[in-house]
Amino acid sequence: MASSNASPLIVWFRNDLRIDDNPALLAAADTGRPLLPLYIREDADTRRLGGALKWWLHRSLTALAHDLRERGLKLHLLGGDAADTLAHVARSTGASGVHWNRRYSGDGIQRDTAVKTRLKAQGLEVESFNSHLLYEPWTLKTGSGGPYRVFTPFSRAARASGMPDKPKPAPRMMHGYEGPLDDLSLEAFDLLPTKPDWSGGLQKAWKPGTDGAQQKLDRFLAEALENYPDKRDRPGIIGTSRLSPYLRFGELSPRAIWHAAEVSSASRDAVFKFHQELLWREFSYHLLYHYPDLCEANHQPKFDAFPWRNHEGEEGAKLLRAWQKGSTGYPIVDAGMRELWHTGWMHNRVRMIVGSFLVKHLLIDWRQGEEWFWDTLVDADPANNAASWQWVAGSGADAAPYFRIFNPVLQGEKFDGDGSYTRQWVPEVTKLPKKFLHKPWEAPTSALSEAGITLGETYPRPIVDHREARERALDAFKSLSDAANAA
């Protein structure tokens, strides 16, 4: 609805770096008033962005600025406290309101509430919208009115509550605020690595921004969705969408992805399975909203007594470093950790394998893994990362039972049977025959020497023995159950 009011409206972009299906932008454009798109690098971010996220954000803001510019709008960049910045921008431009899309972490909600109170007290209109989720966390409740803690009933309730809204196109008409505003250059955000610049692999692997997201989605729908149920666990092929970093920063909306799959020609089974994974993301946000300390605290408090090895001790630190660098001596684990380091992403099946290895084989606290992923993943997400690590550790809601301990050799043989993934990321073992690829220490000396491998020199020996590590993990878990029973 057009308004005669010519005062600008600020559209505060956060994790919604797109112009399609962006309800805050759409509602602002509908007023007919001049728009002032703004991104604030907030001082108060309690959790600093990891290196890979910062790299992505730089590229994603570049893409958003380009998309807005094509429609005649400038993306303004500022840094500081969000409430101060918004109040200052409103005062200096005459803006009379702010629109944004909601966030769901405890800290984000607290900050947004404070900003809202402050701006309203200054007489500004403030409106917030949902762009990030299919089902906002408070809209789904169990029979007794509480949050869900088990995925299957959550997903049933989500589906029963109706199909997610259809995505809406970008506003047809927008005009931008053209007055002065002292803002920053993107370089001033200092998001790119320089000394050293380790981003070469990320640059090769990704094209941040809505165009890149749409290309990934189109390719997935055309080439992989049909076989998603069978091939999504195979890291050596492109069997999944690789849309996670785009969802993280909101370059494509979950509604757009849901409906693109819905109307595709893929079988109902394939679409159902893919939708189910999108619902896992919703479940993570449901958990994060209802349990805001998901990143720090064991969801099941009995895990507070878990006898993690002291990862600050020299031995623990050495093991942690070997895991981070991809030199554990287990090729599938090393392949995953190196894929992560080079591309900022890792296949879901391999995330489960390396996660299980850290927590169960090395007995290192899941929070150490969560932190490493937070720093290195381009899709590091406050909800998905924490919920998934707790799932792997067994401490989470609806988690994998602690006593299910992945055997990295069998996992490698089952999910990377032809070895293509492992060979890509661990070139030292490329020449080993398939039979020994996932267990080089069992290869006869002749096979090792033909493959140019000297264990302990060109490729590490396993840093732990699987059988011993398994027993130790089961004992640790048992001590927890015994303590719980005795209490």
Which positions are catalytic?
A: 277, 280, 308, 348, 366, 389
The distance from CA 404 to its chain's CA centroid, rounded to whole angstroms, is 24
Q: How many residues bind ligand FAD (CB under 6 A)?
A: 27
| Amino acid at position 413, single letter | E
Tell me the three state secondary structure of residue 235. Answer: coil
Cβ 133 to ligand FAD shortest distance, Å = 11
- Looking only at residues 348 through 387 of this chain, which bind ligand FAD when binding is defined by CB under 6 A? 348, 351-352, 355, 373, 377, 379-381, 384-385
Cβ proximity to ligand FAD, 81 vs 277, nearer residue? 277
Phi/psi for 441 (5° steps) reads -70, -15
Distance CA 469, CA 454 (A): 24
Distance CA 99, CA 9 (A): 7
Cβ 482 to ligand FAD shortest distance, Å = 27
Rg (CA), the chain: 24
Cβ proximity to ligand FAD, 83 vs 380, nearer residue? 380
Using rule CB under 6 A, residue 21 touches ligand FAD:
no
Assess contact for 55 and 191: CB atoms under 8 A: yes
Angle at 162 between CA 16 and CA 222, to 5 degrees: 60
Determine which residue in the list 60, 388, 395, 411 makes contact with ligand FAD, applying CB under 6 A.
388
Phi/psi for 79 (5° steps) reads -130, 155
- Sequence-separated (6 or more) residues with CB below 8 Å from residue 91: none
Structure tokens at 468: 């011993």
Phi/psi for 435 (5° steps) reads -55, -30
Between β-strands 76-80 and 35-42, what pairing exists: parallel, antiparallel or unpaired?
A: parallel
Determine which residue in the list 36, 57, 63, 243 makes contact with ligand FAD, applying CB under 6 A.
243
Hey, how many other C-beta atoms are within 10 angstroms of the C-beta on 312? 9
Assess contact for 459 and 453: CB atoms under 8 A: yes
Using rule CB under 6 A, residue 284 touches ligand FAD:
yes
Cβ proximity to ligand FAD, 352 vs 363, nearer residue? 352
Cβ proximity to ligand FAD, 199 vs 241, nearer residue? 241
Determine which residue in the list 33, 76, 99, 242 makes contact with ligand FAD, applying CB under 6 A.
242
Determine which residue in the list 131, 244, 253, 327 makes contact with ligand FAD, applying CB under 6 A.
244
Determine which residue in the list 58, 102, 232, 342 makes contact with ligand FAD, applying CB under 6 A.
232
Determine which residue in the list 247, 260, 287, 295 makes contact with ligand FAD, applying CB under 6 A.
247
Distance CA 332, CA 147 (A): 37
Assess contact for 39 and 76: CB atoms under 8 A: yes
Cβ proximity to ligand FAD, 68 vs 288, nearer residue? 288
Bridge partner residues of 41 (DSSP): 79
Cβ 369 to ligand FAD shortest distance, Å = 7
Cβ proximity to ligand FAD, 148 vs 373, nearer residue? 373
Q: Which residue has the tokens 């002292």?
A: 182
Cβ 374 to ligand FAD shortest distance, Å = 7
Using rule CB under 6 A, residue 438 touches ligand FAD:
no
Cβ 156 to ligand FAD shortest distance, Å = 17
Cβ proximity to ligand FAD, 280 vs 341, nearer residue? 280
Closest C-alpha among 112, 54, 122 to residue 82:
112
Using rule CB under 6 A, residue 324 touches ligand FAD:
no
Distance CA 450, CA 68 (A): 57
Using rule CB under 6 A, residue 240 touches ligand FAD:
yes
- Sequence-separated (6 or more) residues with CB below 8 Å from residue 64: 13, 17, 18, 19, 39, 75, 209, 210
Determine which residue in the list 93, 131, 210, 241 makes contact with ligand FAD, applying CB under 6 A.
241
Closest C-alpha among 211, 231, 213 to residue 223:
231
Cβ 7 to ligand FAD shortest distance, Å = 38
Contact flags string 258-277 toward ligand FAD, x per CB under 6 A: -------------------x
Cβ proximity to ligand FAD, 98 vs 243, nearer residue? 243
Tell me the three state secondary structure of residue 296. Answer: coil
- Looking only at residues 55 through 114 of this chain, which bind ligand FAD when binding is defined by CB under 6 A? none
Cβ 448 to ligand FAD shortest distance, Å = 32
Cβ 447 to ligand FAD shortest distance, Å = 33
Q: Which residues bind ligand FAD (CB under 6 A)?
A: 232, 240-244, 247-248, 277-278, 280-281, 284, 348, 351-352, 355, 373, 377, 379-381, 384-385, 388-389, 392
